[in-house]
Amino acid sequence: MAAVAAASFSLHAQGLPVTNDRLLHADKEPGNWLMYGSTYNNWRFSRLDQIDTQNVKNLHVKWLFQGRHNEKFETTPLVVDGIMYLTRPENDIYALDAETGRVLWVYSYRNPERTYNCCGKVNRGLALLGNTLYMNTLDMHLIAVDAKSGRELWKTGIYDYTANDGYAATGAPLVVKDKVIVGMAGGEHPVSGFLDAYDAKTGKLVWRFHTIPQPGEENFGTWAGDSWKTGGVTTWNTGAYDPESNTLYWGTSNPWPDYNRDDRGTGDNLYSCSVLALDPDTGKLKWFYQFTPNDTHDWDSTQIPVLLDAEFRGQQRKLLAWANRNGFFYLLDRINGQFQFAKPFVRQTWNKGFDDKGRPEIVPGNEPTPEGNDKIQPGIDGGANWMAHSYSPITRLMYVFARDERRMFTKNAIRHVTDDEIAADAAGGRGGGRGPAANNGIFGTGGNLPGVAGGGRGRGPRFAPEESWGKVIGIDPLTGTIKWEHRVLTPPWGGVTSTAGNLVFGGTLEGVIFALDARTGQRLWHFAGNDRVYASPISYLANGKQYMSLAVGDVIATFGLD
């Protein structure tokens, strides 16, 4: 283990600056967590092994950070040599001593009272370059904050957050070279998607890639009529970067309206539900692959891309592994985007196979209907969603916290979302009659009772625990074979992290924080957090000791061995 030596008694701000070189070799700093996905390939794999399968039974809480906020905590903290930086809803940044959880400084950003987030006033985390932290805000700003003092350095407007019933930015930015890559949200509204790159020093916009081709551009004709103007296709999560080929990989969301193609036509609605391979210097598209053409199920492809180099079919290959919201695990060639194979990792009803190019063959009868179609799987929130996956180079397995569930899909008339509906969403999470308590696990959903209001926007009733559950799976990414499965009660909203101690950490919607044996899926340790987990764990060193942190409820719970 290449532990980062930390002098006893103190943490050291000489952890800053975090240079591009350090970001490129983030795997060489296992004591730190320098970006959202831990490394540019998004393995979310910690090379720390102090906590292992033998001693994990002794893991216990070392400190708690009390967030004191009712909103979901989706943040992935960053750690730099003993200092943890995390976002607290809505858009506050806290710097903590990573050994004790004591606050060093706070940066508070005040959004307007009303913002236009579909799914809670959430934020998933920060990016870091040099001495500067970067955060997206709900009112569509990119903020640069000095990591030493918490001072705001600059603030750049991304877009008018009130336009088209509302834009928002909730994902963690990604630093690539001298740029900050920023995605946007709003796919449940008639927005027009894009991905931006800003100069990391000045905050000036360097390029914008429109995720819906503009008139005259290639693939513009995949949208009927004027539907391209309001076709959604947002970029609300975080991407990956391959320095060797200088390629940025980023997933795109559903086309709008989510469950109704009447105005969009039967074209592919590019580049919705796709992965984009872009030149990070110019924003030019190198290639794309569309997982779900002409989607009517809100099956965003905004999952975290996972990059792998491996021998595949007799050759050393550069691959892209993707556990998609549509329920299939995909392997692509990441140099040219060519489809290799796809296999389901949850129950699915919509697909009877793929052609050579990876275009799905659709099973009839899997469309949302005005009266509601409850025979479609995976459910509205998908087999995977935004929650982070992990890959262990030791077990060579990819870990996915999957949602194996049945839900109601309802087609409604095309219309813009009304202000009242947005306000209701803001008050109670997503629409569909799910109140503030709705996300507290199987007993809090209420939506398990068939017939609960809300199907009109696709937020249909959930079904009984016998029909819907969550599972951590260990997938061989080169075959799509599921090697093991660890089932949990409720479809999850948290991600997973694996470690060199052969552990997989995560947490359930009921708050069970767990460590699984990365080789078998056997649960070796648990802690009753008793509140919803909407985040992915990290692991780091402070004062030479390994810790694991995960947000449960509004608390950042941090565990250690002694």
Partner 1 sequence: MRNLIRAAGYSTIALAALAAAQSPKSIVAAGTTNPFNTPADVQQAAPLFSTNCAYCHGSRGEGGRGADLTAGIYTHGASDADLFNTIRNGIPGAMPAVAITDDQTWKLVAFVRKLGSAGMGEKATGNASGGKAIFEGKGKCKTCHSIGLEGGTVGPDLTDVGRRRNLGYLTESLVSPEADVPIRYRAVQVVLINGGTVTGVRLNEDDLSIQVRDTSDNLRSFNKEDIKEIKHDKPALMPAYGSILSNKELADVVAYLNSLRGEQ
Q: Which residues bind partner 1 (CB under 8 A)?
A: 8-14, 82-83, 95, 97, 99-100, 102-105, 110, 146, 148-149, 151, 153
CA 414 to each of CA 153, 194, 370, 417: distance values in angstroms, whole numbers, following the listed order? 43, 23, 12, 9
Active site residues: 298
Q: Which is nearer to partner 1, 148 or 208 (CB)?
A: 148
Closest CA to 326 of 357, 347, 355: 347
Q: 3-state class of 424 per DSSP? A: helix
User: How far is residue 111's CA from residue 99's CA, in Å, rounded to a whole number?
Assistant: 31
User: How far is residue 12's CA from residue 435's CA, in Å, rounded to a whole number?
Assistant: 44
Q: What are phi and psi of 197, to 5 degrees?
A: -125, 130
- Virtual torsion, Cα 517, 522, 524, 529, nearest 10 deg: 110
Give 267's DSSP letter.
Answer: S
What are the tokens at 351? Answer: 């697909």
Tokens 């987030």 correspond to 117
User: How far is residue 432's CA from residue 455's CA, in Å, rounded to a whole number?
Assistant: 6
Q: Which is nearer to partner 1, 515 or 542 (CB)?
A: 542
Q: Which is nearer to partner 1, 122 or 147 (CB)?
A: 147
Q: Which is nearer to partner 1, 148 or 317 (CB)?
A: 148
Give least dist CB 109 to partner 1, A: 11
Q: Which is nearer to partner 1, 104 or 437 (CB)?
A: 104
Neighbours of 243 (CB within 10 A): 15
Q: Which is nearer to partner 1, 149 or 522 (CB)?
A: 149
Q: Which is nearer to partner 1, 196 or 554 (CB)?
A: 554
Look at strands 45-46 and 497-499 and give their pairing.
parallel
CA 221 to each of CA 194, 256, 270, 296: distance values in angstroms, whole numbers, following the listed order? 18, 16, 9, 18
Give least dist CB 554 to partner 1, A: 12
Q: Where in 183-245 does DSSP place strands (E)?
A: 194-199, 205-210, 240-242
Give least dist CB 419 to partner 1, A: 21
What are the tokens at 131? Answer: 């001495």
Give least dist CB 430 to partner 1, A: 22
- Virtual torsion, Cα 196, 197, 199, 202, nearest 10 deg: 10
Give least dist CB 102 to partner 1, A: 5
Q: In what order do the strands lie in the sheet with 152-157?
A: 127-129, 132-136, 141-146, 152-157
What are the tokens at 53? Answer: 């399968």
Give least dist CB 108 to partner 1, A: 9
Give least dist CB 476 to partner 1, A: 43
Ordered alpha helix ranges (H), 346-500: 419-428
User: How far is residue 84's CA from residue 49's CA, in Å, rounded to a whole number?
Assistant: 20
Give least dist CB 445 to partner 1, A: 25
Closest CA to 167 of 182, 196, 188: 188
Tokens 């802690």 correspond to 527
User: How far is residue 37's CA from residue 308's CA, in Å, rounded to a whole number?
Assistant: 14
Contact (Cβ atoms closer than 8 angstroms) between residue 392 and residue 308: no
Q: Which is nearer to partner 1, 21 or 113 (CB)?
A: 113
Q: Which is nearer to partner 1, 151 or 352 (CB)?
A: 151
Q: Find the angle CA(38)-CA(40)-CA(45) to the nearest 5 degrees.
A: 35
Give least dist CB 110 to partner 1, A: 5
Give 153's DSSP letter.
Answer: E
